[in-house]
Structure 1
Amino acid sequence: MPQQLDPLPDDWERALAVVAHPDDLEYGCAAAVAAWTDAGREVTYLMVTRGEAGIDTLDPARAARVREREQRDSAAVVGVTAVEFLDHPDGVVEYGTALRRDIAAAIRRHRPELLITLNPEDTWGGTYWNTPDHRAVGRAVLDAAGDAGNRWIFPDTEAKPWNGVRWVAVAGSDAPTHAVDVTGTLERGVQSLTRHRAYIEALTGEDPETYARNLLEGFARETAERFADRLAVPFRLYPR
């Protein structure tokens, strides 16, 4: 029997999801976001880039507009109305104090108890090399959780320090520890990813909804084997 996953804690009210690109959350955890917003929790999205380098057939300026629109549409499907962009350059995001400061400032503004980000490790499943943007942003989120609460680090941000982050949940981890039941919200996760139509059509010749459904239902069924046969989204949870 594979090691079973624990339910993600649900005694929180506000979450901030910080990822590198439009679509990162839809590939990982939008169905979980739908479950949270259905329960009355507040979730805000923060994109470090606009994904302008992600569609080979579109020049960056046009791609940025398309991907921002698709991200806002996809967020709305799962009950998220607040979507922000930091405008770091897509494909060349640099880990460092500038990125940590921007994320810490957002944490201080939104005052989340839960932070969500994407796999910061070198690989996906030990097989596929992760992108530099994912690695940089994921690591910066983990570090900024502490930065945000320290009044001597980045003291010039507009909002006051916030030391209320209780967990950082990493989606797409090779070593998940917890999961969220998405039995009732998986369909909205599929529809949320489908909203990234321009991106998916440039990525594959498959119908976007078929592509999204096969991918996300497959992930959820795989996680169910470690979560009492319930369709679920896995996370690696770092308590603070």
Structure 2
Amino acid sequence: MTESKITQLQPLPDDWQRALAVVAHPDDLEYGCSAAVAAWTDAGREVTYLLATRGEAGIATLDPAVCGPLREREQRAGAAVVGVRTVEFLDHRDGVIEYGVALRRDIAAAIRRHRPDLLVTLNHRDTWGGVAWNTPDHVAVGRATLDAAADAGNRWVFPELAEQGLEPWNGVRRVAVAGSSNPTHAVDARPGLERAVRSLLEHRSYVEALTDQDPEAYVRDFLTETTTATGRRFGGIPAVAFEVFGR
């Protein structure tokens, strides 16, 4: 019997200047890839966040009318920690985001508006690997982001966007999916890890509703464990993993 080999992850190419990160909820990027975002902004790259919802259905003890604005504030604060200045929200309903033309159009419009070289999103697959089921919101937004990369560059898909002054943009070179069970690439997490911890801690209301642990201990343990696990496939360097789709 031969010992199975662990497939090593490749460094994510750095031949880009602008990224648009598209996810469903506040905290998705902080759980997924903010250590990478911190490294990118340190290098002078521009990263913009686009969220489909305000996370208003995410805390059982808070009415959505209270929860949504609270989580928006926490998201903006978390983004600022890792050098992201622009955070936009699409106002789809938390928990019931529908994959379809409307969502694709909204994301394509943002791509045309911001003209990124790189798109970032969260796991669009049914599971997180094995039997850990993904949420419909993540699946819908991840799939729509992958599709919108092409929609944004096609003049005859959503022609109304051009009528609104949003000319086609076919400059997206890659889509990097965080949290995938099939990663292909990774980014060194060491320079941005401490800021990633602080960034996720800005979502204190959500974290405190999620766990009875001390929030800082919970956040630090989670991010340290995930980046260390990825590092086993990245030369022993703690890292953030991505499944990368070229275009």
TM normalised by structure 2 equals 0.96
Structural mapping, 1:15-54, within 5 Å: 15-54=19-58
1:199 maps to 206
Note the alpha carbon deviations across 1:26-71, whole angstroms, 9 max, x for none.
0000000000000000000000000000000100010001100000
Alpha-carbon distance between aligned partners in 1 of 2:129 and 2:223, rounded to the nearest angstrom: 16
Q: Distance in 2 between matches of 1:99 and 1:201?
A: 31
Structure 1 residue 70 corresponds to structure 2 residue 77: no
Which of 106, 119, 125 is residue 121 of structure 1 equivalent to? 125
- Post-superposition Cα deviations, 1:176-230, rounded to whole Å, max 9, x if no partner, equal 0000001111111111111100001111111111111000000111111111111
Task: Tell me whether 1:213 sits opposite 2:217 in the alignment.
Answer: no
Write the distance in 1 (CA, Å) between the matches of 2:44 and 2:189.
15
Gaps of 5+ in 2: none
Q: Secondary structure at the match of 1:176?
A: coil
Runs of 4+ aligned structure 1 residues displaced above 3 Å come to none
Letter of the structure 2 residue corresponding to residue 119 of structure 1: N
**Amino acid of the structure 2 residue aligned with 1:218:** E
CA offset at residue 156 of structure 1? 1.0
Cα displacement string for residues 84-143 of structure 1 (whole angstroms, at most 9, x for unaligned residues): 000000000000000000000000000000000000100111221100000000000000
Q: Which residue of 1 aligns with 2:60?
A: 56
Aligned positions of 1:67-146 closer than 5 A: 67-146=71-150
Distance in 2, Cα, partners of 1:227 & 1:12: 21
Task: Give the superposed CA RMSD.
Answer: 0.6
The equivalent of 1:3 in structure 2 is 7
- Residue type matched to 1:152 in 2? W
Q: Matches of 1:44 and 1:208 in 2, distance apart? A: 26
Structure 1 unmatched runs, 5+: none
Query: What amino acid sits opposite 1:122 in the alignment?
Result: D
Counting aligned pairs with the same residue, the percent is 70
Q: Number of paired residues?
A: 240
Partner Cα distance (1:156, 1:43) in 2: 26
SS at match of 1:123: coil
2: CA distance, partners of 1:15 / 1:146: 16
> Could you tell me how far apart the structure 2 residues matched to 1:217 and 1:37 are?
21
- The one-letter code matched in structure 2 to 1:99 is L
